[in-house]
Every structure is written in C-alpha cells, then in structure tokens.
Amino acid sequence: MMGWPPAIIAFVAAVAWFAVFVLVHILGWRAGLGHARWLLITYLASLLATLASVIALAASAASAILPVILALMTSACLFVIYVPAVYTVLTSLSVQSMVLMRRRGSALSLPELYGRFASRAIVEDRLATLTSSGYLAREGERFRLTSRGRTLARAFAFVKAWWRLGAGG
C-alpha cells in the first residue's frame, strides 16, 4: 500500500473508515441507539480517523493537502448517500405501508391504511420527534418553531418556491 499514489491511499482510507462507521452505526442501532446523535457521533469519529490515517501516511505536510481533500470529499459523498437510506428505513410512510400490507397478507383496505398512516397518532408522533430534535417547542396544545426550526422551514420554503413544487409534503 505504501507504493500506491497518495490519492488512491486517501480514497481507500476514507472508504475503509466509512465501512467501520457503517458497522458501528448499525451495531448501535441494533442496540437501540438509532437516533441522529448516534449517527453523527459515529460519523465524526470515522471522519477524524480518516484524516488521522491520511495525514499519518503522507510523506510531508505539503503532500498531505491533496489526500486530505480527496478523503474528506469521499467520506462526505458516502455519507450523503448513506443517510437517505437510513431515513427511508426509519421514517418512510410508503415503506411502512408496504411492510404492514405484507404482514397482513399483501393487501389492506384503504380505510385501514388511512386510519393508520393519515391518523392523529402519526401527526402527534411526528410533532414529538420534531420537538425532541429541537425544531419545535411545546406551548400547551400547540407547538412553536424554534429558531433552528424557523431557519430550516425558511430554507425549504425557499426551495419549494424556487422550484415551483407547490404545497408538497
């Protein structure tokens, strides 16, 4: 491996440490740590390990610049592909609908599906998740946007308007 070009070493190191991150993340998930904080902590640890490996393998500080950039880019690219897959498993209502149908003999009546997935319980569950994630703050029976939630809502409202996506959601 020492004879490999630094760019390839950086790529391999980023992929290897990302694989370690996925393994640790999934093990934590199985142990009940399936929340966003666990995802971020394990990913940041793998990113630091990637950087440490690439810098340690570089011949000099100057020659480490390109490998560091490539390793960071590689790791970030793998992360943005991995995260949507995680959230599809965790939160997709379409996936949950198909799973429920499969468990009930591959078919369900529409009233039952709507009763389950277009229900007040689903709304309350999502409001609770948004509150625990710091995007909403509870005020009696209602929920107010936090500054973090307002920033995110404004950003996506802009994207929806810019791309003319309509109401969406």
Residues 100-129 that bind another protein (CB under 8 A): 100-103, 106-111, 113-114, 117-120, 122-124, 126-127, 129
- What CA–CA distance (Å, rounded) separates 102 from 120? 23
Q: Within 13 A of 96's CA, how many CA atoms are on the CB side?
A: 12
Rounded least distance, CB 116 to another protein, Å: 9
Task: Taking the CA atoms of 150, 152, 154 and 160 in sequence, report the sign of the dihedral they define.
Answer: negative
Positive or negative, the CA dihedral 74, 80, 81, 85 is positive
Residue (48 or 126) nearer to another protein, CB: 126
User: Stretches 16-24, 26-34, 35-43, 50-58: which one binds another protein (CB under 8 A)?
Assistant: 26-34
Residue 2 makes contact with another protein by CB under 8 A: no
8 Å CB contact between 79 and 18:
yes
Which residue is associated with the tokens 């393998």?
57
Q: Least distance in Å: CB of 77 to another protein?
A: 3
Instruction: Give, to the nearest 10 degrees, the angle between helix 93-103 and helix 110-117.
Output: 130
Q: Are 146 and 136 in contact (CB under 8 A)?
A: yes
Site string for another protein, 74-103 (x = CB under 8 A): x--xxxxx-xx----xxx-xxxxxxxxxxx
Site for another protein in 127-146 (CB under 8 A): 127, 129-130, 135-136, 139, 141-145
**Options 16-24, 37-45, 48-56, 73-81: segment touching another protein (CB under 8 A):** 73-81
